Amino acid sequence: MEGQTEGGISTVPLFRFTGLMAGGFKLRINGGEHPVQADPTDSLLNVLRDRLDLTGPKYGCGEGQCGACTVLVDGKPRRSCVTPLSAVVTAQILTIEGLEKNGRLHPVQQAFLDEGAFQCAYCTSGMIMTGVAFLKDHSNPTEAEIVRAMNGNVCRCGTYPRIIVAIRKAAQALKESSG
C-alpha cells in the first residue's frame, strides 16, 4: 500500500512518469502499444526481451559498446542495454521485429540475406537497425561513410566487407523504390 513502510522501507514512489498506467508503462513499440509492468530503471533491452518477448535485440556486452542490442528510438539508433525504461516512455521504439511490412523484408534486411552479411548472426539485428537509421539520411553513401556509421557495431565473425556491400545494396534498393 502506498505510503506504508515495509521492513522500515517506504513504499512511496520516488518518481512519477508520463506513460505510466496503473502500476506500469504503456510503450509504443513497432507501431503498437504494449503495457509493461517494470521498474523505471530496468533496461529497455530486458523489458523488450523478458517482458515482451521481442528477442531480436541481443545482450552482448551490457555496456552499450558492441551494438547487438541496438533499436531505434524516435528514429535514432539507441543501445537498449544501457537505456533505462524511464528514458523511452514517450518515444516510438522500433525493433527488428517491426521492420517487415506486408510480408516483405525491409531492404536492409533483404540485402543482409542476399549478401550473406552474417555468420553466427548474433550482431545482425543491431547491424541492420544501425543501417536502417543511417540510410534514412544517406541515400548514396560512400564506403567511408558506411564504415563510420557502422563503426560502433561489433561483428565477432568478421563479416565487415559483406556488411558494407549489403548497406550499399540496400541504399540502392531504397533509392529505386522511392524514385
pLDDT tens profile 42-94: 999 999 999 999 999 999 999 999 999 999 999 999 999 999 999 999 999 99
Other CB atoms within 10 Å distance of the CB of residue 54:
21
pLDDT confidence of residue 1: 41
pLDDT confidence of residue 23: 55
Helices (H), the chain: 44-46, 107-115, 124-137, 143-150, 160-178
Please state the pTM of the whole predicted model: 0.86
Residues in the chain predicted with pLDDT less than 70, given as ranges, are: 1-23
The letter for the amino acid at 12 is V
Alpha-carbon distance 56 to 127, whole Å? Answer: 11
CB-count exposure of residue 155 (10 Å: 0-12, 13-18, 19+): buried
pLDDT confidence of residue 25: 86
Other CB atoms within 10 Å distance of the CB of residue 96:
25
pLDDT confidence of residue 153: 96
Alpha-carbon distance 127 to 131, whole Å? Answer: 6
Alpha-carbon distance 71 to 92, whole Å? Answer: 10
102's grid cell: 506486408
> Residue 122's beta-bridge partner residues?
none
55-82 burial: b if 16+ Cβ within 10 Å, else e? ebbbebeeebebbbbbbbbeeebbbbbb
